[in-house]
Every structure is written in structure tokens, then in C-alpha cells.
């Protein structure tokens, strides 16, 4: 049976911790679905289409066994039910707060889709503090050397344009 891993998030912006999770999934699953969805509690920096474009550029799409897509209605359980294969939802866990948050989501997902598996991946120490909010705060403080260390180059360029930064500044 086909093993499918799903990784969902806003990816606003995509950072090296996200890429690490996707790379790990590529080693584990037959298919990797990276799903971009909205979060009604957050105001995005980039449009959903811009985030998909950056994700595709970073992953070198098209790429065998990886599918990137937009899921505008946030119904990950329904999306997973439609897939043919054994489905696992993958989440990156950086700390206890992430675990508590993801555990609440897992409980809700299990009620809607009990056949889906769940896997938590803990990143290496160089990615443990990374979050999209952290990257945005670095940008707002104009710490561009630090930003360049924690995001893929394609994302760094887009962040520079968004925050009106150029390498000559």
C-alpha cells in the first residue's frame, strides 16, 4: 500500500525548519503532500499563491513523489480521506507548547478521520527555535544576516522585496 505523508501549514514564510521536515518525509514516505492552508487567526505576509510559488521553487518542483497544493478550506481530514493509500499527517514539534497545540489538533482530527496516522518530528537543534513568526520579527528588526541563515535563498529574496530590503542597503 502506498504510504502518503501530509505536511500542512501556512508556510508564511517558508523557513529551513519546514524544509527539514519535508526532506525527512521524503525519506520516509512514498508520496509527500505539502499542503498550504489559511489560518483564520493569522494575517499572512504573502498571498497563498506566492507561498506556493516559493515552496515549489525551493523544492525544485516538479519533483518525483512530492505534491504541493493549496487547501483553501482548512479541511485536512476530508482531503486525507480522499487519498488512496495509508495516510500519515506529519507535524514538526519544537517544544512543549508545540506538542500541546498539536495534540489538541490531533484529538480533533482523530474524531473526524480515525484511520489517519500521526507522526511528530523533532528537528535538530539548529532548527528548534525557528518559526515563521520569528523570521518575520528578524525582518522587522532588519537583521538580514540572520534572516539569510534561516530561510532558503528564494525566500530571502522575496522577504527582501516585501520589506523593501536589498543587499546594497
Per-residue pLDDT of the chain (169 residues; tens, 9 = 90+): 899 999 999 999 999 999 999 999 999 999 999 999 888 888 999 999 999 999 999 999 888 899 999 998 768 888 998 999 999 999 999 999 999 999 998 998 888 888 899 999 999 999 999 999 999 999 999 999 999 999 999 999 999 999 988 654 4
pLDDT of residue 166: 66
pLDDT of residue 74: 63
Pick the closest to residue 93 from 130, 120, 133, 125 (CA basis): 120
pLDDT of residue 55: 97
Query: How far apart, in whole angstroms, are the C-alpha atoms of residue 118 and residue 138?
Result: 32
pLDDT of residue 46: 97
Pick the closest to residue 7 from 50, 46, 36 (CA basis): 36
pLDDT of residue 113: 86
pLDDT of residue 89: 96
Grid cell of 47 as nine digits: 498571498
Pick the closest to residue 109 from 134, 79, 77, 144 (CA basis): 77
The number of C-alpha atoms within 13 Å of 28 and in the hemisphere containing its C-beta is: 20
Query: How far apart, in whole angstroms, are the C-alpha atoms of residue 18 and residue 2?
Result: 23
pLDDT of residue 81: 87
Grid cell of 75 as nine digits: 479541511
Amino acid at each position: 500500500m502506498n504510504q502518503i505523508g501530509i505536511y500542512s501549514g501556512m508556510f508564511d514564510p517558508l523557513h529551513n525548519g519546514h524544509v527539514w521536515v519535508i526532506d525527512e518525509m521524503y525519506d520516509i514516505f512514498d508520496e509527500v503532500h505539502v499542503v498550504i492552508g489559511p489560518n483564520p487567526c493569522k494575517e499572512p505576509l504573502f498571498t497563498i499563491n506566492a507561498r506556493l510559488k516559493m515552496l515549489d521553487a525551493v523544492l525544485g518542483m516538479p519533483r518525483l513523489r512530492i505534491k504541493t497544493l493549496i487547501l483553501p478550506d482548512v479541511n485536512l481530514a476530508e482531503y486525507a480521506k480522499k487519498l488512496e493509500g495509508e495516510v500519515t499527517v506529519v507535524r514538526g514539534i519544537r517544544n512543549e507548547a508545540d506538542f500541546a497545540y498539536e495534540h489538541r489538533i490531533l484529538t480533533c482530527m482523530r474524531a473526524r478521520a480515525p484511520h489517519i496516522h500521526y507522526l511528530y518530528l523533532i528537528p535538530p537543534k539548529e532548527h528548534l527555535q525557528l518559526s515563521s513568526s520569528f523570521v518575520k520579527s528578524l525582518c522587522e528588526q532588519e537583521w538580514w544576516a540572520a534572516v539569510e541563515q534561516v530561510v532558503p535563498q528564494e525566500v530571502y529574496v522575496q522577504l527582501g522585496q516585501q520589506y523593501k530590503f536589498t543587499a546594497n542597503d
